[in-house]
Structure 1
């Protein structure tokens, strides 16, 4: 494993897969780069109250609260909103400066690179393929866990088999439509039966706040490996470091065997 660290970097990933603020970026840079002002202290305090209310609600209201918390977390330089529980106990962090959205009509997932038959899938195409449902604990590398979370979708191996991986291919690189998040797996890891291109979470469509409409779900790994807003699957000659690996996190992010942690395995 690369960049094995006993202690996590200052901005820890995980949660719904990202930090309270992007590693290495000072809050003032938001204005310098034209991204808008960071969320103010009053708004953060308001979110604390909103998060407390959200713990006791469910259904559609919780979904709306999740969206609000996720959007505010994207512009919170303090990281405080990353401590607030969303639906089911998830925490929201962001690697970009906003929560991206794709509709039924404009979403596409491409499969390419070292394959015989590159492909582009609409949501309807993905739903028409055989679906697998997994119920596992979601484990964040920062320490919190959401037990018995259900994800359903297409096995990653199904899409790779349909594309036909060429002999030089030994790894899979994932890109996301936020323009920032990336991840990678070895080909052997990608072919595991517990690696999904997920369309639902807890039997409902994956929301934008949780990385929908389609996200990667790497069940036996820390949640930073489950890239949100998945838009591209590319077979490569070797593993290419993902977003978090460039900040010192393990390329092989197995729960219980990564970054000096000793969490119990999730599966």
Structure 2
């Protein structure tokens, strides 16, 4: 019995990742969204507003920083990985109610990419677009420059999987998870905040955990 128990502890992380991969793959091809209602072993649910999402990898992934900037930039995965990486461990809170505690994310601080592009004086906000062709998000420039806002390349100490928005996603630690746009492809500086996909459908633009959307969740950050 002790041997079986020990074996189960060893196998559990692999079984969990296998389950997540299966659910992620199925949900990627599920236009009904029903699979998004199923929790996996890690506590996450998979959401997509597109019927399917193309895969991107080392050879064809590109992230563009443009709009009201002095120096538009284009990054491949290798270039993003070569920049200084930040790691943080925070709870992930979905506005639908589920929460995954102590989740590590690692990536490039968004403020570093903004500084490299040279933000023009008239810019006050940042718009994010995704290679699913449908999703978008926005932050004020002040919010985007926070130290806990990343272009994430890793999650739970592994490369970001396609199902979790890889190879790169936005991660806004103190806000509800819909602000952390998956499959990130564009960062555009704008004169004003443009409501994102879910804000156009009634969600709050300023989505602080515990201080928005009529919820009283414990904040994930101050």
TM (normalized to structure 2)?
0.90
Equivalent position of 1:141 in the other structure: 95
CA contact (8 A) 2:106 2:153 kept: yes
Equivalent of 2:152, from 192, 195, 198? 198
Listed as ranges, the gaps of 5+ residues in structure 2 are 1-10
* Structure 2 equivalent of residue 212 of structure 1: 166
* Correspondences of 1:1-267 after superposition (within 5 Å): 57-59=12-14, 62-74=16-28, 75=30, 77=32, 79-267=33-221
Q: Would the alpha carbon gap of residues 203 and 254 (structure 1) be closer, same or farther in structure 2, given more than 3 Å must change? A: same
SS of the aligned residue for 2:78 comes to helix
Alignment partners' CA distance in 1, 2:51 and 2:185: 18
Distance in 2 between the 1:108 and 1:245 partners?
A: 26
Shift of 1:76: 5.1
Contact in 2 for aligned 1:86/1:92 (Cα 8 Å): no
Relative to structure 1, the CA distance from residue 204 to residue 87 in structure 2 (aligned partners, 3 Å threshold; closer, same or farther) is farther
Q: Using CA pairs under 8 Å that are at least 6 residues apart, name the structure with larger relative contact order, 1 or 2.
A: 1
Q: Residue by residue, what CA displacement relative to the aligned partner does 1:143-199 show, whole Å, maximum 9, x if unpaired?
A: 110000000000000000010100110000000001011000000000000000000
- Match of 2:50, SS? coil
Number of residue pairs the alignment of both structures matches:
210
Q: Distance in 2 between matches of 1:83 and 1:175?
A: 25
Residue 94 of structure 1: CA displacement? 1.5
Whether the 8 Å contact between 1:70 and 1:99 is mirrored in structure 2 is no
In the superposition, the TM-score normalised over structure 1's length comes to 0.75
Which runs of 5 or more residues in structure 1 are unaligned?
A: 1-55
CA contact (8 A) 2:53 2:131 kept: no
Q: Which structure: greater strand fraction?
A: 2
In the alignment, the residues of structure 2 paired with residue 248 and residue 256 of structure 1 have an alpha-carbon distance, to the nearest angstrom, of 17
